[in-house]
Structure 1
Amino acid sequence: MRLQSASYLLPALLPSLASASGFDCAHIKLDNYKYDLSPLKGVHEITHSVTTDDYETNTTYRLNICNILGKNARFGDATCESSRNVCGFVHRAAKDGNGGSTFGFPIVGLDHVGQGSKDPELKRLKDIDPETEGLRVKLEGGSYKGDGNDQKAKKAGAIIEFQCDHERSGLEGLHTLAEDLETKERRRRAEEEAPKGNTSSLQFKSFGLSDDDTYILRLDWRTKYACDNYEDEKGEGASKSWGFFTWLIIIAFLCIAAYLIFGSWLNYNRYGARGWDLLPHGDTIRDVPYIFQDWLRRVINTLQGAGSRGGYSAV
């Protein structure tokens, strides 16, 4: 019975296991800089096509940098473990119409029982190129056999370069399969603000063997959330907004205080007024409590009148 209960709990625990494996997209700290990539959450899809003399190969990559792929780890007849963050789906068709193959393979994430690690490696792009601002994220945990099925599987991973672009949210031109209402609203605003003919913020660079004998998927992702000082500027923007209303209240208070002081001084020097008579419109100010009581009584009478039954009353 306990084993059965554990099997029901496993799908619910997978997102927590994924976030616990070393990469939290919402809280990235590197060299005293903070980055929050959570606005880019959701399952995004990008396709790369290669044509040879005999075959046409379309490889679709699905990724969710903030969570697992879940039910989106299936592409037609091809499958990939639902606990993964990045998967590739290859569809190879012969040009003569005879033969073809479809298969999926994991690139980033835990295995089906939550074991392993994504081995995150984070680096600021300025440490690589002083002219480029952004964040380089390397994640692993997958495997790929290459073009031949008889080959031994090798490790796979992804390198995503989040490049700073103050004009892009990072959602422009993306094909997204799963997103919440907040992400949909951000996408709508991004598409409205983006110039016509704008290219996708997420771009495929390459997929192949690296020097350490690991298959690496390389992607470029242009977004303002990768800017070094975006989190600080966002906080300053909020403080500036609050500062405006604070100054508005202070100015209004000073204007009222100046009016009362000047009016009191004028009444004292011109009319020799004392006490309440010093204040401008002193009679009105003294009547404020009574005016409020009359208004409150009218409201109560109106509500009581609306609640009473209509018709003739007994005489």
Structure 2
Amino acid sequence: MVPSSSSWHTLLLLLLPTCISAVTLDCEHIRVSKKSFDLSPLGGPKTVHYQQYLPPTISNTTFTLDLCKPLKRLSDLPKEEQCPSGTRVCGVEERFNTIEHTRQIDGVRAIAGEFSTSHGSGRALDPKVERLKESSNAEMEGLRIELNGGRYPDQRGGVTQKVVIELHCDAKLTGNEGFEDAEEKMGLDVDSYGGMRRRADDDDDDDDVDGPELPDLDKGKSLQFISYKSEGSDPATEVLRLTWKTKYACENAADLPPSDGEDPKKKKSSGGWGFFTWFIIVFFLLVASYIIFGSWLNYNRYGARGWDLIPHGDALRDLPYVAKEWVGGLVERVKGGGARGGYSAV
């Protein structure tokens, strides 16, 4: 059954929101104010921490970020200790009771991600990218990236979440420093935190206890935690702020020499799409548009059905046979020329 013109119109309206929500952050091709940036070398999970002493517990929130694609679910962790599929930035808060020596998960927050299709909530990543020179810091070279879509708790009335990442230009850093031993810096266990509490109590002679000196789990990292709190005039929005020092935020990053451990050939090969790729994409879109609108026109104007719907349907239907005959003729000519063996007729 061929859909009517009203059905075609309804179908296009249904597909439009999906196309809009598909807008995402393409790390390899970022274009801002006529400046191009390639942030793909920063891809992959990166972690930063926010620790607080909340007697008698120590809170450690681990924020995991993948700038270029959704985070993968880990098979060795329970589902309730991980963010849902589509998450780009996830915060997991652990509470360590230094008296009872217990650990518990106090909250799992999806800070940013694409949830418009998986959860049916219509919450999209909605990335916003701008140069620092045109936003908050006119003297700083780099980018400001805002990612949205999060909500905690993940239910109606939950607090809106988002992350703001300031990438500062630093020609000496790739942005991946400090993550070589990321597994060793994920956090400490109950015994370690309890030991720090006991040492703080032994060293303190006053009644005013400031608590133990918490370890710097992000020491040496290019990515640093700044704050996580409600901001601005909207108290129902919690904002995670991070800074990231990297040479890929420099406007002349393509001219910078490769850093230690970086493959210069890989750097040179990374670039925009070539002319041939764009030609194929545009050609495919034009052909698809021609077939769709041509079929719609044939149906409404001439009442066509089946193959008659498609513009030049007869020619397309005969194309395989024409190609077969052409190939067969070519093969016959090749065989005929070879059989004569170079002799000419007398």
Give 1:121 shift: 1.6
Question: Are the aligned partners of 1:83 and 1:110 in contact in 2 as well (CA < 8 Å)?
Answer: yes
Question: Are the aligned partners of 1:45 and 1:175 in contact in 2 as well (CA < 8 Å)?
Answer: no
CA–CA separation in structure 2 for the residues paired with 1:150 and 1:22: 23
In structure 2, relative to structure 1, the CA distance for the partners of 1:109 and 1:151 (3 Å cut) is closer
Amino acid at match of 2:143: L
Greater Cα shift, 122-131 or 84-93? 122-131
Q: Percent identity?
A: 33
CA–CA separation in structure 2 for the residues paired with 1:97 and 1:152: 34
In structure 2, relative to structure 1, the CA distance for the partners of 1:75 and 1:65 (3 Å cut) is farther
In structure 2, relative to structure 1, the CA distance for the partners of 1:126 and 1:110 (3 Å cut) is same
1:201 counterpart (213, 222, 240): 222
Give 1:55 shift: 1.8
2:125 counterpart (111, 118, 125): 118
2:47 counterpart (42, 45, 48): 45
In structure 2, relative to structure 1, the CA distance for the partners of 1:39 and 1:18 (3 Å cut) is farther
In structure 2, relative to structure 1, the CA distance for the partners of 1:132 and 1:92 (3 Å cut) is same
Ranges in structure 1 where 5+ consecutive residues have no aligned partner: 1-16, 179-197, 242-315
In structure 2, relative to structure 1, the CA distance for the partners of 1:38 and 1:18 (3 Å cut) is farther
Amino acid at match of 1:216: V
CA–CA separation in structure 2 for the residues paired with 1:142 and 1:226: 25
* Aligned counterpart, 2:150: 142
CA–CA separation in structure 2 for the residues paired with 1:231 and 1:19: 31
Give 1:104 shift: 1.2
* Aligned counterpart, 1:227: 250
Question: Are the aligned partners of 1:160 and 1:219 in contact in 2 as well (CA < 8 Å)?
Answer: yes
Question: Are the aligned partners of 2:110 and 2:150 in contact in 1 as well (CA < 8 Å)?
Answer: yes
Q: Do residues 217 (structure 1) and 220 (structure 2) align?
A: no
CA–CA separation in structure 2 for the residues paired with 1:48 and 1:89: 10
Give 1:215 shift: 0.8
2:139 counterpart (105, 113, 131): 131
Kindly provide the CA deviation profile for residues 277-304 of structure 1, in whole angstroms up to 9, marking residues without a partner as x.
Answer: xxxxxxxxxxxxxxxxxxxxxxxxxxxx
Aligned-residue CA RMSD (Å): 3.5
Question: Are the aligned partners of 1:92 and 1:101 in contact in 2 as well (CA < 8 Å)?
Answer: yes
Provide the secondary structure at the position in 2 that maps to 1:70.
coil
CA–CA separation in structure 2 for the residues paired with 1:74 and 1:107: 22
Question: Are the aligned partners of 1:42 and 1:177 in contact in 2 as well (CA < 8 Å)?
Answer: no
Kindly provide the CA deviation profile for residues 91-137 of structure 1, in whole angstroms up to 9, marking residues without a partner as x.
Answer: 11333227653131101112234753112121211122222110000
2:84 counterpart (71, 78, 81): 81
Kindly provide the CA deviation profile for residues 146-203 of structure 1, in whole angstroms up to 9, marking residues without a partner as x.
Answer: xxx999521101000010000000000026879xxxxxxxxxxxxxxxxxxx821010
TM-score for both structures, normalised by structure 2: 0.51
Kindly provide the CA deviation profile for residues 50-102 of structure 1, in whole angstroms up to 9, marking residues without a partner as x.
Answer: 11222210000111111110224985661210221110001113332276531
* Aligned counterpart, 1:101: 104
1:158 counterpart (146, 158, 163): 163
Amino acid at match of 1:52: L
CA–CA separation in structure 2 for the residues paired with 1:143 and 1:79: 14
Question: Are the aligned partners of 1:60 and 1:88 in contact in 2 as well (CA < 8 Å)?
Answer: yes
CA–CA separation in structure 1 for the residues paired with 2:25 and 2:149: 12
Of structures 1 and 2, the larger Rg is shown by 1
In structure 2, relative to structure 1, the CA distance for the partners of 1:177 and 1:22 (3 Å cut) is same
Provide the secondary structure at the position in 2 that maps to 1:71.
coil
Question: Are the aligned partners of 1:156 and 1:215 in contact in 2 as well (CA < 8 Å)?
Answer: yes
In structure 2, relative to structure 1, the CA distance for the partners of 1:70 and 1:220 (3 Å cut) is same
